[in-house]
Amino acid sequence: MLTNYLKFLDYLMGNLNKYFTLQAPYIKCAKGCAKCCSNGDYPFSEMEIKLLQIGFDKLDEDTKNIILKKIDSIKKEKTNFKGEGSFTYACPFLINNICSVYDYRGIICRTFGLIYIKEGSDKMQIPFCAYDGLNYSNVLDKEKGILSEEKMKALGLTEEPKAYNIHYNFVTSKRVGEAFNFDYGRRGSLIDLLSDNPKFSLKDK
């Protein structure tokens, strides 16, 4: 199962690398930028957690302990959360603005940053980091939440960037798993899946 998921990841990354290259004029992703890992809910599946666990196992003991303590504290914060909206947090695997399990990261970590469409909709979805001066900010009309033709023209860009069908729900759909002969398993927020996995519990250390 994991072998087939890895084959799928190779295929996905081949496409994503192409997309990021084609959209280079709009992309500001760089090492040390961790906007997308600093405040979110991070949808994950059991299959993605399996891979993450392999990356975690390769870390040194000190780093593992830092991560386990972060997980423990996020779990407590989530239990006590009484705010409005959904609970968000910095990913526990983010250390000094660098992903400690980069090669083993999840699907959402890989697809984030590109404009996308949701299946069945024509509406372009712009990544939230555009509003913080990052990807696509050079062509964003902030007030309208759309891409600005004037800004594109000023940059000599004649075509709108293509929006790809890379929404998390599609990429992790049963259909995609079946095509590559694996099952994503249960899905949920990263912190919930980690909480249910004894490997990521401080008590088990």
200 binds ligand SF4 (CB under 6 A): no
Phi, psi of 167 (to 5 degrees): -60, 145
The yes or no reply on residue 124 touching ligand SF4 (CB under 6 A) is no
Based on the shown chain and the rule CB under 6 A, indicate whether residue 67 belongs to the binding site for ligand SF4: no
Buried b (16+ CB within 10 A) or exposed e, 120-152: eeeebebbebbeeebbbbbbbeeeeeebeeeeb
Of 155, 146, 117, 125, the residue nearest 24 (C-alpha): 155
- The answer to whether residues 108 and 121 touch, using CB atoms and an 8 Å cutoff, is no
16 touches ligand SF4 (CB under 6 A): no
Give the separation between CA 50 and CA 52, rounded to whole angstroms: 5
Q: Least distance (Å) from ligand SF4 to the CB of residue 104?
A: 8
Closer Cβ to ligand SF4, 138 or 172, answer by number: 172
Query: What track of x and - describes contact with ligand SF4 for positions 88 through 117 (by CB under 6 A)?
Result: ---x-xx----x-x---xx--x--------
Give the shortest CB-53-to-ligand SF4 separation in angstroms. 12
Q: How many CB atoms lie within 10 A of CB 91?
A: 24
Segment interacting with ligand SF4, rule: CB under 6 A, options 73-81, 87-95, 137-145, 197-205: 87-95
The residues near 116 (Cβ < 8 Å, ≥ 6 apart) are 124, 125, 163, 164, 165, 166, 167
Which CB, 42 or 164, lies closer to ligand SF4? 42
**Binding flag, residue 33, ligand SF4 (CB under 6 A):** no
35 contacts ligand SF4 (rule: CB under 6 A): no
CB-CB contact of 5 with 51 (8 Å) = yes
CA 146, CA 124: separation in Å to the nearest integer? 8
Q: Is residue 42 at the binding interface for ligand SF4, with CB under 6 A as the rule?
A: yes
Shortest separation between residue 167's beta carbon and ligand SF4, angstroms: 17
Site residues for ligand SF4 per CB under 6 A: 37, 42, 91, 93-94, 99, 101, 105-106, 109
